[in-house]
Chain A
């Protein structure tokens, strides 16, 4: 099959069956099996690691199961109504919302700023890119423990530095200072956002920016009118994945807590007691498997709703160079095999 280009249109010859060999016809019989064979590993993983746990958690959320006792019973929606009267759950949810509102825009903005800087023709650009991306490769366990040492009240470097200018030592790892440390740990991984934005920047055709400059646009206008709109799908992707990651924040607050073991989950200071910490505490410290599963389902539905809302709201703000397929467009493409450049 070959394509010919005439003007701005790429013409693809329609497929014919006239010359199809019997071997190809024979192979076609196996196409469904081949398809399912290739997707089977993903499908098994999806069923095993996503669908089954989701269904299991939904079922658990309607019981009073405590994790060990076989004699549990159906309680209907009691666990869901209990959430509304659980101040710890509501506070944790609100706190998680604040944490998300604070860290997601900051991460994306810093990442974009760094990406723009590292997209310039500067000396040792590769080295800078690698250095800034490096913290994102370090596991969160490593970076959180490093921050814990840096912010240690008794022998941490941060108190030593602020002590030089006469500021009294601060107990960073307790309330309310620990929230600052958590935000710092989160932003430390800004290299991940930077690398995504950088790849987006490199995909923007230079001729568009150059044309704007020729038309008299300044640097800010080029960035705000050309670069940013073309980068908007990448930013949308980061917003959605960032929100999902933030509302599931768990490891960093736990690691910043001084104690260890199951009890540590309830020693997490109030200002970093995020929603998932509360869920974990309900599961494994309190043994309320039914209630904790209800908490998880509420979070799952909230994330779904939030994602839908963001997609709807962003529909006007996000610019797609190649608009997503619409049913009309798909139908036309099938009937007329040509792609407009």
Chain B
């Protein structure tokens, strides 16, 4: 640094450093470094990575935290990750409409490790043809999946309450489900000894509602997905059910989530029915006591149509502007079609995305055999939910959460809550349509 350093130069240098840092993001130009926005080692294990690196000498896999704000910043800097963990059910139309995700069909066409005919139907949640989800090009793959509207019962709680378990072959309807919850809930004012029910809204409120409305034969969206209408008879009925469930105080709601969370409460014999999918079997396997007390049941029916969709479809997609797309696809071949996929299936943390791996699901313990039996029958009722390309599912969830909470706290009728939701979401959908058109 010499005497020629002036104030102007210093300010210019500082501004330059700021701009460079802001635009730098977390991606990399190194052709041998794969940047993955994923959960390591929880979901992508160190062994998965080591095997990949062994097969691709010189390659380094760098993980960045799964974080929407970080992803936004990386995209804004023009330096997105090479692979992104996400939920296909709620995100695929949104990503495709914004031209963010790479079409994987050409990669499948030249792949020997992964072929379309090996994929489980759940992978269809990652397909979008420009108007409907479930058909058209593929934009991602599920690492595993569940039919998340199914539920688990804690038989200890049922026995203590003297209540009979529901049928494992025929789905009960939502009103019967609520009635069961009322009989199983034991509380003294605000203090609960046992909760009756946590319905399948934990992962995504909007997915839970779309499933209910779909079972009743309706849709929350207009035909072109540019507006929502929660005042329709089917959607209003779903809202009414939720508000009744909240008023009955039989379980977790947006206004009063379970203090300890759903899984720990269920495991502690303080919750009778838990709306989680098959993946919960993996968590149960670590608890021998709980494993003796659980049973798995088909997804309840809200309307005349029996539906049992996947409500998440967690997997990975490759950004269109990723710098190492071929390397990312090579990782996909390993992770979705190689030994990691087999190990995931054997763990029981969800159904495999590759159909042939169904035989690897665990069946050593009685609860695993019972769950697997119910699950295999349920596969016949798998369906793909429709989401709008014009709004992020987080906005759908946020609006539902905020307005339902207001409805519960103020005792508003379903029609008023529907109006509040419509008033929040329709301007967002309008903006979204304007942005992608």
Contact = CB atoms under 8 A, between A and B. Distances in A.
Interface string B92-132: 00100010100000000000000000000000000000000
B397 interface: yes
Given A48-B18, A169-B191, A270-B409, A64 B431 contact: yes
Nearest to A265: B398
A303 interface: no
Task: Pick the 3 closest A-B CB pairs, nearest first.
Answer: A258-B257, A285-B398, A169-B191
A40 B259 contact: no
Contact of B1 (A33, A64, A289): A33
B402 A69 contact: no
A152 B395 contact: no
Interface string A33-59: 100110010011011100110001000
A323 to B, nearest CB: 31
Among B6, B68, B75, find the residue whose CB has the most chain A CB atoms closer than 10 A: B68
A72 B431 CA distance: 10
Interface residues of A, number: 56
A69 B14 contact: no
Contact of B435 (A37, A48, A69, A267): A69
Interface of B: 1-7, 10-11, 13-15, 17-19, 21-22, 68-69, 72, 75, 94, 98, 100, 188-192, 204-205, 254-261, 270, 391-392, 394-395, 397-399, 401-402, 405-406, 409, 428, 431-432, 434-436
Given A175-B255, A262-B394, A267-B257, A68 B190 contact: no
Contacts of A70: 98
A51 B22 CA distance: 12
Given A71-B436, A72-B435, A284-B69, A47 B398 contact: no
B405 A267 contact: yes
A259 B257 contact: yes
Contacts of B254: 259, 266-267
B189 A169 contact: yes
Interface string A265-289: 1110110000000000101111111
B275 to A, nearest CB: 15
Interface of A: 29-30, 32-33, 36-37, 40, 43-44, 46-48, 51-52, 56, 64, 66-72, 88, 148, 152-155, 159, 168-171, 173-175, 257-260, 262-263, 265-267, 269-270, 281, 283-289
B98 A69 contact: yes
Contacts of B2: 30, 33
Given A170-B190, A174-B256, A286 B398 contact: yes
B406 A270 contact: yes
A281 B398 contact: yes
Contacts of B259: 148, 152-155, 173, 258
A283 B69 contact: yes
B395 A285 contact: yes
B95 to A, nearest CB: 8
14 contacts: A32-B6, A36-B7, A40-B13, A40-B14, A44-B13, A70-B98, A155-B259, A174-B255, A175-B255, A263-B394, A265-B398, A267-B401, A269-B405, A287-B391
B35 to A, nearest CB: 18
B3 A33 contact: yes
Nearest to B95: A68
A47 B257 contact: no
A68 B434 CA distance: 14
Contact of A169 (B22, B190, B391, B394): B190
A83 to B, nearest CB: 14
A262 to B, nearest CB: 5
Contacts of B13: 40, 44
Contacts of B402: 88, 266, 281
B422 to A, nearest CB: 15
Contacts of A66: 392, 431-432, 435
Given A33-B2, A64-B431, A284-B394, A175 B409 contact: yes
Given A40-B14, A152-B259, A174-B256, A285 B394 contact: yes
Contact of A47 (B3, B17, B100, B192): B17
Given A36-B5, A43-B10, A262 B68 contact: yes
Nearest to B10: A36
B251 to A, nearest CB: 13
A68 B98 contact: yes
A241 B309 CA distance: 51
A71 B435 CA distance: 6
A68 B91 CA distance: 12
Contacts of B190: 153, 159, 168-171
Contacts of B401: 263, 266-267
A288 B125 CA distance: 26
Contacts of B256: 171, 174, 258
Nearest to B201: A263
A288 to B, nearest CB: 7
A175 to B, nearest CB: 6
A29 B3 contact: yes
Nearest to B402: A266
Contacts of B189: 168-169
B426 to A, nearest CB: 13
A90 to B, nearest CB: 15
Nearest to B202: A259
Nearest to B5: A33
A48 B98 contact: no
A67 B72 contact: yes
A175 B257 CA distance: 12
A269 B13 CA distance: 46
Nearest to A39: B10
A263 B255 contact: no
A263 B393 CA distance: 10
B4 to A, nearest CB: 8
A48 B19 CA distance: 8
Contacts of A266: 254, 397-399, 401-402, 405
B123 to A, nearest CB: 23
B205 A263 contact: yes
Contacts of B261: 258, 260
Contacts of A257: 257
A72 B75 CA distance: 14
A47 B18 contact: yes
Contacts of A169: 188-191
B5 A32 contact: yes
B204 to A, nearest CB: 8
Contacts of B3: 29-30, 32-33
B14 A44 contact: yes
A48 to B, nearest CB: 4
B19 A52 contact: yes
Given A169-B188, A267-B254, A283-B69, A40 B395 contact: no
Given A48-B18, A169-B188, A285 B397 contact: yes
A52 B69 contact: no
Contacts of A281: 398, 402
Contacts of B6: 32
A145 to B, nearest CB: 12
